[in-house]
Amino acid sequence: MSYKSVVNKVEYLGFLDALRGWAIIGVILVHSSNGLKTFGLTEFTHPFAYSGQRGVPLFFVVSAFTIFYNLYKYSNFLSINNIKSFYLRRFFRIYPLFGLFLLIGVITKLIEFNEFNIVNIILTSTFMDVWDFGNFQHYVPGGWSISTEMYFYLLAPLFFKYIRNFKTAFVVFWVVQITCGYLGKYLGTNYGNAYMYKFYSVFTQYFVFFMGIFAYFIWSKYLLVFEKISKTYINILLYLSFLTLLIFAHLGMHIISYVCFFGVFILIASQSTSLLISGSVIQFIGKISYSCYFWHFVVINLLNKLMPNSFWYLSVVILFILTFIISYFSYRFIEKPGIAFGRRFITRHIK
C-alpha cells in the first residue's frame, strides 16, 4: 500500500494533538516570560513560565511518535516513490507558513536595519541556519526548532529501516544523546556561542526524537495491556504527571529528565479520558499549534508596542487569546491549503 493512500486513512489519535496543545502553551509561556515588557512576574511564578521551553522537546517526542505511527501502517514505505511522497508531504506541511515568515523576516530586516544578507537567507530557507555556529536565528523567530525537525524528517527513512523495536530505540537514544551532547558542547565552546548551543543546537536536541520512537514501540507493543487499565487510575496518573512537571519546573531539572518523563507521559496520555487530554479545546489548540508557534512572536512584539510596562498576567491572557484567533485563520487559510495542494501534487506526480 502506498504512503499517500495510507496517511489519509490513519486513525486519528486525539491525545497527540492534546500534547501538542500543552507543548505550545509551554512555548508561549516561556517567551512571554522573557519577551514581554511587563511587570508582576514573581520569583515564584517565573520558573514555571520559564520551564515552558521544554515544550519544544515535547513537540519533538510527539513528532517522532506520530511519524513512526504513520509509517508502520503500511509495509512498503522504503520504496522510492513512498519515500518521495513522505518528503513532499513534510515539505508542503511545513514550508507554506515557514516561507511566509521567512519573507516577513527578510522584509522586516531590510526596512528596520537595512540588512539583506543573501547567505543568511539561503541558510534559513534551506534549514541550514542551525549549522551557523554563531547565530541560529537569522530571519525566522524560533526557526531553529523547525530546522532541527526537518533534519529528523530527512533521516526518518533510515531510522525506520534500522530501528525496529523499543530496545534498539532505547540504545540509540542514549548513544545519540551522549555523542551529540559532547560534540555540541565542543563545537559551541570552540566555534560558536556556547549558550546558544546548549539550548538550540541540533546536536543537543536531536536525541529527543528517539524517545518518541521508543515510546511508540512501547505503546504499540503493549496497547492491549494499557487499554485494560482502569481509566480512573490512568487519569490519576495523568494529574500526578502534571504535578510532576510543576515540580520539575521549580527544581530546574535537566532536559534529559524532562525527555525521559515525556516518554512516560505520552503513554499515560494515550489512555486518558480526562478533559486535559480528550477535551476538544486542548486538541483544537494542538491542531493550530504550528501556526501558534510562529504567530505568538508577532503578538508579543505587538503587545510590547501597544501595552509596554503592563501587568504580566493580563498581557499573557491577551497574548494567548490573540495568538489562538490569528492561528485559527492561519491554520485554515495557509496550512490546510498547503497540505491539500501537497496531496494533489503527490497524486499527480508520484505513481
pLDDT, position 265:
96
**pLDDT, tens only, 285-333:** 999 999 999 999 999 999 999 988 889 999 999 999 999 999 999 999 9
Cβ(142)–Cβ(102) below 8 Å: no
Quickly state the pLDDT bin for 73 (edges 50, 70, 90): confident
pLDDT, position 7:
46
pLDDT, position 48:
84
From CA 59, how far away is CA 194, in angstroms rounded?
24
**Stronger pLDDT, 4 or 84, i.e. the higher one:** 84
pLDDT, position 194:
62
pLDDT at 9 over 70: no
From CA 37, how far away is CA 248, in angstroms rounded?
26
pLDDT at 235 over 60: yes
Q: Counting beta carbons within 10 angstroms of the beta carbon of residue 167, is it exposed (0 to 12), middle (13 to 18) or buried (19 or more)?
A: exposed
> Which three three-digit cell numbers place residue 336?
490546510
From CA 302, how far away is CA 61, in angstroms rounded?
31
pLDDT, position 188:
67
What is the helix (H) or strand (E) element at residue 205, kind and residue range? helix 202-205
From CA 315, how far away is CA 324, in angstroms rounded?
14
Q: In percent, how much of the chain has pLDDT > 90? A: 64
pLDDT, position 91:
96
> Which three three-digit cell numbers place residue 173?
537514544
Average pLDDT, the chain: 89
Parse the chain into domains and list their residue ranges: 3-349
Question: In angstroms, how far is CA 110 from the centroid of its own chain?
Answer: 29
pLDDT, position 180:
83
pLDDT, position 6:
45
Cβ(32)–Cβ(302) below 8 Å: no
Beta bridge partners, 38, equal 310
Q: In percent, how much of the chain has pLDDT > 70? A: 92
CA R_g for the chain: 20
Cβ(134)–Cβ(63) below 8 Å: no
From CA 175, how far away is CA 26, in angstroms rounded?
28
Cβ(268)–Cβ(244) below 8 Å: no
**pLDDT, tens only, 12-67:** 899 999 999 999 999 999 999 988 888 888 777 888 888 888 999 999 999 999 99
Cβ(32)–Cβ(292) below 8 Å: no
Q: Any idea which residue has 525496529 for its cell?
A: 164
pLDDT, position 147:
93
**pLDDT, tens only, 173-232:** 999 999 887 877 777 666 666 666 667 778 888 999 999 999 999 999 998 888 899 999
pLDDT, position 34:
87
Question: Per DSSP, which regions of 12-104 are E strands?
Answer: 38-39
From CA 158, how far away is CA 49, in angstroms rounded?
37
pLDDT, position 134:
59
